[in-house]
Structure 1
């Protein structure tokens, strides 16, 4: 297979697994840094003679960096999901993924109607759901694993009330309760938002919908949840019967605009609805309330064309992905005409530098006004994600800081606050970086305020480009 992009290694299969390998650290890790950074992402892009089509499709692998007394170690392990186990056993792709359809024959597609195999390939995020650390994808089949050994431990089962076919890999928490949603597809489809308390779920709100939207994340303010329906919608009957890969059944319908539903976190009542011009987003950044208005920030694209630009053939060929978007704020009045009326709102761009994979000081700022957002940008329009970006929003004109190194492609920057630190950016960023020149990856540690480098630790192999993970202060391998 011929690849022409300098970052094609990031979309190349990694089969090598290691366990608690000590890493050589250049510079110095903060003495207070403890716990583990645990991430997930696609790591196998072929099974037998079949290849996955999209970046979002590859079989998932966990990567863990453990910290103690200025030292770091690294482990990685495939998630032994049903998707992975069946692929291993059969030597082919068995379960459909985001843009890969294993049922290539008419017979296979007919049989899939009677024996649907929903993917549990948890390659999107690692987060707390209830009281458990789980790996997540966009189906309601979270994967439990041992955070010390990375051994797969099966599914985390939702309660019977929380039924649906699609979910989000970006649940929210306020430190006590967890919040998420599932989408029930059928003759009568619905969005079901639910609360998780100590591992027990209950439905908070159910919103009927004719053609569900593709949504990757949602917003949470201090008192409300915000569901954002982008005009990338699907007919549930088509999704069930087409025999086509999941995302190819969705249609861009800009005439619907972008619909916001604001749900009270206590009562489950829809307290406001709003409509904005059509746009698309993967990632909400944050939401907060001030003076009777809920402000919702996300990274907005003009349409959903980015999905197709992230096909593996295009990425490996170096075709410009434009996988960055504009930090945009939508302000929804809470005391307007009520939930029956769609209030017209417009988005306001907050930062002229496009980026993706946003992070904030979540533990202290989720649901509250924030002034710092970190993410990953592109140094040139034709490049891939290769620059760590910090947007400082305290003033009318935002300050943008950057970290960039030639030949290096940075991943999501995870913020870790310094214990007892007061400032919103008092801490460090942890980012997994592909060094295309050395054909390996390293963990980069930056000062979160200035983006100056504090340390890096080389990994003994390349780590394919992943998506999300989190730092867990009480987990140490």
Structure 2
């Protein structure tokens, strides 16, 4: 990979510094000394002249870097605002000058050892060079501003801005890419503890006739309005418990306590966008979603799922069919003394009903009993095929009783989410025609799944792909204090690398099959499903690859057999350093990456009437940490994975979570 422009500049400064100080020693110092005191300088011995020139150059270097240090101390705003994590551009420039000087002086010491040789100087110079190498090399391992980008409040740009396009955007690519994610991390003197908790900022990239227009707006949720009005965080999020202003009276504190005992969750929809009927909503995973205008990003109605069906939590990753129907899962907690998972359908809106919310006609398709009344499983997504839904009840559980007492105990709600490695993961297969869970019981070992990739059917089997973790340490990795200590580092010992796993569920009758026999008969996978006593099937996955997250595919192949998947490359840390195209047949990956750039979840857009599954483009927003360079939206060829175009936005982009592409005709 080629060296980025900033590092090239630093190397050039170091080399220039080396030759400059050599020139000063051999030419400038003798010339100036004879002009100032010709008899005095010429009267020195050769050894004394060497030492004199060395001291002259050393004094000049000290004055030069001293002036630089004073400038940095008094005028370098990024470093003064954050001495540890501020942009160290001028610091590195100063270090580069000193590096060139030290190498020059070290060579002179060795060459004129009899005159100025000193082993302590050699040790000093080598130690300093090692330290400076570390500082200069830090820009390659830890991009400037990477940490502050995670925790700095974003700035909205509600008016459209034209982006600078480099390359040629395909004429058929017409539509709007919406992106959603946390954007405000501190209000007044209070700050969120977890990156996921930040108040949402929505971004749109409108692509039309080869041009790109960008805009962004904060989601003006009730949470946003309450926090801004109080000038402090007053609405709790999953990883941040909000407490009242100490100056408030007892009544306010008592009300706050009661609100947290039976929590009314946030409407800060900072995770994704959902389309129900003709409407678009910003969503997280609570019972609240916020309708938005996908063009202006204006925040509109607040919608409570519980007005239409009894769910306290809901997935932010629904599925859609070609008719426009949406399918999703929600969790109903202790409703009529039962906790269950509810699969529901939001029908497409007809012309006669286009002015009413699609949720008014929501249908409950299936309910799956929770294996524990007060500890429902956490889930983020699910799978579907032509005839089945796949729901994973994993041993990552939300302890409801602990949640009710979290405020009193001074802990956040996330601390009530516990992983139980001793328990199995249940796999529920739901028949789309009957709306019932199939009789066969499937299970596997303990794991944590956030994202389903896809699912399909083949010769009496249901195959589904997921991104799986061995534990729930991924959530902990996004606490802001931890991110500030080790942002994007490849040396994070606590990082749990995700695995792309393929499971196979046999759906034919197992009559006559002996206990211990593998029922999977497909030749192209090593996944197994072994029959156990009582008829249960123990499913073991095939690991397709590792270090791959935020998977997206050609959605025309959703629920069908697919070959290609696009996702973020997270092989060494949770912060994406690149994106990849995975061929699930050959297990090969093609990568895109660029020094000091961090891409978002890639989204595949198929070319109309495309010739193949990967005939289209991949869109990803890219945060550019290179000094003086703008962030951009990247467009890659879906087949070759080569860059087609990029559009630079003249503003700071914040890291986001998920996105939604709206074709122009919609």
TM-score in terms of structure 2 length: 0.67
- Cα deviation digits, residues 409-461 of structure 1 (max 9, x gap): 01111111111102111111110001011364211111111211111111122
- Cα deviation digits, residues 247-291 of structure 1 (max 9, x gap): 210111122211110111232100143110111121100111112
Contact conserved, 1:161 with 1:203, CA < 8 A, in 2?
no
Shifted more, 109-118 versus 462-471: the winner is: 109-118
Contact conserved, 2:178 with 2:661, CA < 8 A, in 1?
yes
1:293 to 2:433 alignment: no
Question: Equivalent residue for 2:298?
Answer: 151
Three-state SS of the structure 2 residue aligned to 1:266 is coil
Question: Equivalent residue for 1:134?
Answer: 281
Question: Equivalent residue for 1:355?
Answer: 548
> Which of the numbers 365, 378, 386 marks the counterpart of 1:204?
365
Counterparts of residues 222-237 of structure 1 (less than 5 Å):
222-237=386-401
Contact conserved, 2:261 with 2:404, CA < 8 A, in 1?
no
Counterparts of residues 59-74 of structure 1 (less than 5 Å):
59-74=199-214
Contact conserved, 1:9 with 1:464, CA < 8 A, in 2?
no
Three-state SS of the structure 2 residue aligned to 1:93 is coil
What RMSD over aligned residues (CA atoms) do the two structures have, in Å? 2.2
User: Aligned partners of 2:306 and 2:312: how far apart in 1?
Assistant: 14
**Structure 1 spans left out of the alignment, 5+ residues:** none
1:412 to 2:605 alignment: no
Question: Equivalent residue for 2:147?
Answer: 8
Deviation at 1:184, TM superposition (A): 1.3
1:269 to 2:436 alignment: yes
Counterparts of residues 5-404 of structure 1 (less than 5 Å):
5-6=142-143, 7-11=146-150, 12-103=152-243, 107=254, 110-113=257-260, 116-158=263-305, 160-176=307-323, 177-186=325-334, 187-198=337-348, 199=358, 200-209=361-370, 210=372, 211-243=375-407, 244-271=411-438, 272-318=440-486, 320=492, 322=495, 324-336=497-509, 342-351=536-545, 353-362=546-555, 364-378=556-570, 381=572, 384-394=575-585, 397-404=586-593
Contact conserved, 1:40 with 1:62, CA < 8 A, in 2?
yes
1:464 to 2:654 alignment: yes
**Structure 2 spans left out of the alignment, 5+ residues:** 1-81, 87-141, 247-252, 349-357, 512-533
Contact conserved, 1:127 with 1:469, CA < 8 A, in 2?
no
Question: Equivalent residue for 1:427?
Answer: 616
Q: Kindly indicate which of the two structures has a greater share of residues assigned to helix.
A: 2
Deviation at 1:175, TM superposition (A): 2.1
Three-state SS of the structure 1 residue aligned to 2:448 is coil
Contact conserved, 1:125 with 1:137, CA < 8 A, in 2?
yes
Three-state SS of the structure 2 residue aligned to 1:75 is strand
Three-state SS of the structure 2 residue aligned to 1:283 is strand
Deviation at 1:221, TM superposition (A): 1.2
User: Aligned partners of 2:624 and 2:215: how far apart in 1?
Assistant: 19
User: Aligned partners of 2:387 and 2:149: how far apart in 1?
Assistant: 40
Contact conserved, 1:148 with 1:475, CA < 8 A, in 2?
no
User: Aligned partners of 2:306 and 2:285: how far apart in 1?
Assistant: 17
Three-state SS of the structure 2 residue aligned to 1:254 is coil
User: Aligned partners of 2:318 and 2:412: how far apart in 1?
Assistant: 25
User: Aligned partners of 1:71 and 1:434: how far apart in 2?
Assistant: 20
Q: Kindly indicate which of the two structures has a greater share of residues assigned to strand.
A: 1
Question: Equivalent residue for 2:103?
Answer: none
Deviation at 1:98, TM superposition (A): 2.1
Contact conserved, 2:306 with 2:312, CA < 8 A, in 1?
no
User: Aligned partners of 1:382 and 1:109: how far apart in 2?
Assistant: 38
Deviation at 1:240, TM superposition (A): 2.4
Deviation at 1:29, TM superposition (A): 0.8
> Which of the numbers 420, 442, 446 marks the counterpart of 2:636?
446
Contact conserved, 1:103 with 1:112, CA < 8 A, in 2?
no
1:101–1:113 CA distance, 2 compared to 1 (3 A): closer
Three-state SS of the structure 2 residue aligned to 1:189 is strand
Three-state SS of the structure 1 residue aligned to 2:404 is helix
Contact conserved, 1:323 with 1:384, CA < 8 A, in 2?
no
User: Aligned partners of 2:501 and 2:630: how far apart in 1?
Assistant: 35
1:116–1:295 CA distance, 2 compared to 1 (3 A): same
